[in-house]
Chain A
């Protein structure tokens, strides 16, 4: 026996369902359309499959998509090599070793850092990291793979720290306390109890953080260098799409760029799938 709904309420409830439907459609549309464009380019490439699979990307052709894909994966690998241990280490310190007052502050700062616009991170890379590398590393103008690895890693730190913190929060506190009661130091308890129990979640937190930063275009656009050729030869999916798609007229070029965009979308979906798995995992 529920109260009769007013017409306005009835309308609002319909609106709620409608909003849900439109949201589902809109969410589906982006990956489906972009992957579709990519598949279209892959199915009958205007320049032939051999051009698409060539190991070079140059004007007027061939545009081998494997080149920017390799660049993206290389940056991701480099960035995870340093950002994963540093992020997990920092999260461990914040959760288990920091004084309580510092801990609260540090968490707030880490979550605020996640809001830094990527274009600003890229700009800092351009004005600070690149000149530094040029001076001490001898990289001409400092831009290229090393700069991209540093800045993409830095951009991955906030999500890695947040994810690692969540992963360790799932370890029951009493296990830590039990280790301490047996006479272990805090660091011993971390090594013997916390890390082994949280290992899988920690690894996926690192993967997700780097995966997120990897897809970001702005950082690499600013620190990769305009010269897509040599020095720090760095061409990634994002730089290629952002710089070339708005101007591409040649159908062969356009198809290759669509394939690159499809690959980028797919990479994002893979990271999302990994995330869905870890967040659903009971523990």
Chain B
């Protein structure tokens, strides 16, 4: 009975430790923001914000249609065929590749081979590759949740396969798909590793070239003084978590319908 009690205490302690870590981390950021001494502003904040908006925009413009298309294919056309099995396995494998590897790819292919140079375009494409697996998986899950009854009803009325997808399945799965895209947006917003390799800069040199991004700026200024890194960290975490929570709610809500 005492072992029983000890285990119960240990399990509760684990959960408490996780909660304490969260509170301490948020507390450290807030306290840091308050007590940090003001320092001279580092130029380039505007460049970073503009860069992040552009990178997220490019990444989503590329990854959302491709990922949603592939997810719909997996759920509606492929399901059991060999191509779908292979694609699904590929998605699962690639999803675990670290973001830095996408940066290496971006540096070698987008910056070098395709000659884009260190630009938001190269960075946005590298981030797009990073988002693809997540969007494909979320879309497939959302589309599969649509009850077969709806498909059969549409087919019985004489709809073609694509008409079933376009007019019946996708509208019902829209919330889940949007939730997956929002989650991907949260990820794109906070990803710094690929940008280091693609060649982000803190501030534009006098030649006028170069791009920046908020998570990259946080990394670059992390060891500096002043309030800015704390403010950057809190805004990044706030926006990313908010987007992810809204995304999760959309996905969960979609299943009840």
Contact = CB atoms under 8 A, between A and B. Distances in A.
B104 interface: yes
Contacts, number: 277
Interface in B1-59: 4-5, 7-8, 10-15, 17-18, 21-22, 24-25, 28-29, 32
A185 B4 contact: yes
B104 A191 contact: no
Nearest to A88: B14
A272 B97 contact: yes
B133 to A, nearest CB: 7
B129 interface: yes
A123 B233 contact: yes
Tier of interface size on chain A: 35 or more
A276 interface: yes
Given A19-B70, A115-B187, A31 B97 contact: yes
A127 B196 contact: no
Interface in B62-94: 65-70, 72-74, 77, 87, 89-94
Interface in A1-34: 1-3, 5, 9-10, 12-13, 15-20, 22-24, 26-31, 33-34
Given A127-B28, A238-B100, A115 B11 contact: no
B184 to A, nearest CB: 11
B108 A89 contact: no
Contacts of B100: 215-217, 238, 241-242, 261, 264
Majority SS at the chain A contact face: helix
A66 interface: no
Contacts of B103: 242
Nearest to A276: B92
A187 B2 CA distance: 11
A117 B196 CA distance: 15
Given A27-B133, A34-B104, A123-B218, A2 B4 contact: no
Among the interface residues A97, A115, A217, which one has the most CB atoms of the partner chain B within 10 A? A115
Contacts of B189: 117
A259 B244 CA distance: 35
A115 B241 contact: yes
A246 B112 CA distance: 12
Contacts of A116: 190, 237, 240-241
A205 interface: no
B72 A117 contact: no
A111 B183 CA distance: 11
A265 B102 CA distance: 9
Nearest to A267: B98
B150 interface: no
A269 B158 contact: no
A54 interface: no
Contacts of B32: 127
Contact of A272 (B17, B28, B93, B248): B93
Among the interface residues B15, B98, B102, B136, which one has the most CB atoms of the partner chain A within 10 A? B98
Contacts of B218: 119-120, 123
Interface string A148-161: 00000010010001
Interface in A207-244: 208, 211-212, 215-218, 221-222, 238, 241-242
Contact of A23 (B107, B136, B199): B136
Contact of A86 (B18, B24, B94): B18
A238 B90 contact: no
11 contacts: A27-B129, A93-B15, A113-B241, A115-B186, A115-B190, A118-B192, A120-B236, A187-B8, A215-B100, A264-B100, A267-B98
Interface of A: 1-3, 5, 9-10, 12-13, 15-20, 22-24, 26-31, 33-34, 37, 85-90, 92-94, 97-98, 106, 108-124, 126-128, 154, 157, 161, 185, 187-188, 190-191, 208, 211-212, 215-218, 221-222, 238, 241-242, 245-246, 258, 261, 264-265, 267-269, 271-273, 275-276, 279
Top-7 shortest CB links A-B: A117-B190, A19-B69, A215-B98, A89-B14, A115-B244, A268-B97, A272-B96
